[in-house]
Each structure stands twice: as C-alpha cells, then as structure tokens.
Amino acid sequence: MLKLLAYAKDIVIVFGFIYGMSAYLKSAFQLNLFQVVAWWIKNFSSTDYAFPLLFGLFFSLFGGYTAWSSAIHGTYVSFLGDSVTKLYVGNIAKKAYFVEPENLTAKPFESVFVVMPNFTFEHIYTKTPFVKEKGTDRVGSAKQSQTLRNLIAPVSFGLVLGLILWVMLHIMGYQAYVAKNFEYESQAPTMRAAFTEQAQSIGLTPKHLTFVGMALCIIGLVGYLRTPPYTYGKQAIDIGGAIYPGAKVQGRALKVKKIYRNDRQQDIGAPVDTGRRIASFEFQQGLPTPVYVNYFFEEEPDKPGLFDDINSLIENNAEMSFIVTPELALSLPAVK
C-alpha cells in the first residue's frame, strides 16, 4: 500500500502541473493545454521570438517541477519515511557517495544531498542518517537535508518559477487565443491589459508581482546560504590500520578539474584559470570498500604539469602514490 502511495505521489506531481497549466489556459483564454500546444506546433516557425519563449517555458516548468517535487518529497518522507543508516565513503568532486552498512561489497551509490568535497580520510565510514520512502527500494536522501529549514529555498524558488511560468503561459496562450478569436490582433485586448486583469483578479498588479518575485528570490537565496553545514556522524569502521600519518597509499585517479573565475576587467563572463586544481582518487588497499578522497593543488596555468599527469593516469586507469599527512590528508612524496 505504501509503495503505491509513494509512486502515486510522483504521478500526482506530474499530472498536477499538467492540470494546473491546462486549467489556467482554460480560465484565461478558453483554450485547453493541448489546443495551445497544437497551435504553437503549427505556427512555431512563423511566430516572433518563438525559441526564447519556448526556452523560458521549459526553464520555468522544469525548474518549478524540480523545486516543488523536492519540497513535496521532503514533506512526504517527514511523515511517511523510514530512517536508515548509511556509511559515507567520500566525494568524487561534489558528488557524495555512501554504502550500506550491511552490504559493504555493494557498489557505492550517489546521494542527492550535496556534501562538500572531502580532502582527508577523517570522515570516511561515518554514519549518516538517511530517510527513505516506506515500501520502496529507493535510496532516499540524507535526513539532515529534509528539515523544515532546508525547505525554505525550494519553496521560495518554486514560487518564483511559478510566477515566471505564469508569464510564459500567458504569452503563449494569448497568441493562440488572438489567432483563434480575432481576425486582426488590433481587435483584441493587449497582452499587457489581459495580464493586468488576471493579476487584479487576485488583488495584485504586475508591479506587485515583480516585488513579490524579488522578495521570494531573496528569501530563497538567504535560505540556501544559511543552510547549516553538514554534520558528520560517528565513524563506524576503524581505518587506522591502513590510513595513518605517514602511511604510503595508492589512489586510482578518477577526475581532475580546473577552477576558474570571472575576470571583471575583461569581457563579462570571461573565464580565467586560477591555477587551482581538484583531483579525485579512489583508495581500496586495506579497506573493506573503495573510498574517495580529493587532492587540492596549484600550478602555473600555462605549465599544467601535474594536471596533465593526472589526466594521463585517468586515461590509463592508473594509480598515484601519496603520503598520508598528520591531518589524514594527501601529500605527494618528496622528490629525491
């Protein structure tokens, strides 16, 4: 029963968006969603600004769906979720990986909860509370990400994207409505007048909606930036026999990336190589499962020696030697 309820929730979210869009178009323009879609398919190439409008529609629709499904899922598992424990095995760049405590030989899975890249072995195999939907085999998400405070950002951004989606639907529905009901566009009420009338029906004006959208953006941004940092649990497996200060370890190179910044003195958005690099490695010797640790280094942007070396290791599925520091971080062996 709970399995059906979990999947029904997903279906309701999808069809809720479809029904909501169709209900709005029917109320505002006496056209259903499929009539508007059919008109746009037929007239897409001859309509001004068709591609930007289509892009705006999909951006607001996909973004709004993602935000609201995240918020609804978080609320759902708060009431109908099972608490389980996973073990953290490190990050590959920004992607956090975990394993089941009862099945350490299973392939680590990626969590939707973002943990900052780890540069040490310190928190490897720490217990992480997860919450999953009852009756399903879904992995779930870290319990810390499902607090009320963490829902502020997705709800705020979901409302903002809902406003943008409203505008996109109005523009696209208006054009189909005018083409269907008027011989000349000049005979129809203007697009702005029609939107103002709709906004006033809920006691607002386009200007009010603009301020509401700006306020929601600020609330969402503050909510995102003020999200509490991830708190690691207790270590479930002792790694001291394999990982200790001075230990020599071999790590298989998985990924390496350059860190860029925007140079304000040049063209807007022009990326500038900072010389900073982050590489991700997999370690397994003496450990029950593969674990992942990142290595930070700097080099001259025009002399990417180590960067190229690590890329070569990745291509050849090869390993690199490290010395474990007193902080359980990675250090390259001294060159003799």
Question: Considering 208, 239, 274, which residue would you say is the last residue of a domain?
Answer: 208
Q: Are residues 252 and 325 in the same domain?
A: yes
Domain range enclosing 68? 2-77+150-208
Task: Say whether pLDDT at 114 is over 60.
Answer: no
Do 162 and 300 fall within a single domain?
no
The pLDDT of residue 73 is above 70: yes
Assess whether 162 and 266 both reside in one domain: no
Q: What is the DSSP string of 191-239?
A: HHHHHHHHHHTTT--HHHHHHHHHHHHHHHHHHHHTPPPP----BSS--
For the cut 60, the answer to whether the pLDDT of residue 266 exceeds it is no
Residue 49 lies in a domain: yes
Contact 223, 152 (CB under 8 A): yes
Residue 328: predicted pLDDT: 94
What is the secondary structure of 41-86 as a DSSP string? Answer: HHHGGGSTTHHHHHHHHHHHHHHHHHHHHHHHHHHHHHHHEEEEEE
Asked if residue 269 has pLDDT above 70, the reply is no
Task: Report residue 261 as tokens.
Answer: 């910044």
Residues 173 and 268 in one domain: no
115 falls within a domain:
no
**Do 203 and 255 fall within a single domain?**
no
CB of 294 closer than 8 Å to CB of 91: yes
Q: What pLDDT, on the 0 to 100 scale, is given for residue 324? A: 95
Which residue stretches of the chain are H helix? Answer: 2-29, 33-43, 50-80, 152-181, 191-200, 206-225, 305-315
For the chain, what percent of residues have pLDDT higher than 90?
Answer: 47
Read off the pLDDT of residues 207-240 as tens digits, 9 standing for 90 and up: 999 999 999 999 989 888 877 767 778 899 999 8
Reduce the DSSP state of residue 132 to 3 states and report it: strand
169 belongs to a structural domain: yes
Residue 134 in any domain: the answer is no
Do 44 and 186 lie in one domain? The reply is yes
Percent of the chain with pLDDT over 70: 92
Domain co-membership, 204 together with 252: no
The mean pLDDT value for 92-105 works out to 86
Please say whether the beta carbons of 303 and 273 come within 8 A: no
**Whether residues 177 and 306 fall in one domain:** no
Q: Is residue 129 part of a domain?
A: no
Nearest to 105 by CA among 127, 85, 123, 89: 89
**What's the Cα-to-Cα distance from 322 to each of 242, 289, 299, 331, rounded to whole Å?**
13, 19, 18, 5
Position 280 confidence tier, pLDDT thresholds 50, 70, 90 = very high
231-235, 252-256, 274-278: segment of lowest average pLDDT? 231-235
197 and 304, same domain (yes or no): no
Q: How far apart are CA 37 and CA 41, in angstroms?
A: 6
Burial status of residue 280 (CB atoms within 10 A of its CB: 0-12, 13-18, 19 or more): buried
139 falls within a domain: no
In the DSSP assignment, the letter for residue 256 is: E
pTM of the model: 0.72
Q: Is residue 17 part of a domain?
A: yes
Q: What is the pLDDT of residue 111?
A: 76
pLDDT of residue 226: 79
In a domain? residue 242: no
At 248, the pLDDT band (50, 70, 90 cuts) reads: very high
26-54 residue pLDDT tens: 999 999 999 999 999 999 888 888 899 99
pLDDT band at 264 (very low <50, low <70, confident <90, very high): low
pLDDT surpassing 70 at residue 277: yes
Last residue of a domain, which of 160, 180, 208? 208
The answer to whether 127 and 151 are in contact (CB under 8 A) is no
What pLDDT does 263 receive? 65
* Same domain as 42, residue 189: yes
* Tokens describing residue 309: 């070396």
pLDDT at 262: 73
Do 22 and 163 sit in the same domain of this protein?
A: yes
Q: Are residues 169 and 70 in the same domain?
A: yes
Instruction: Specify the number of domains making up the chain.
Output: 2
pLDDT at 116: 77
What H or E segment, with its residue span, contains residue 260? strand 248-262
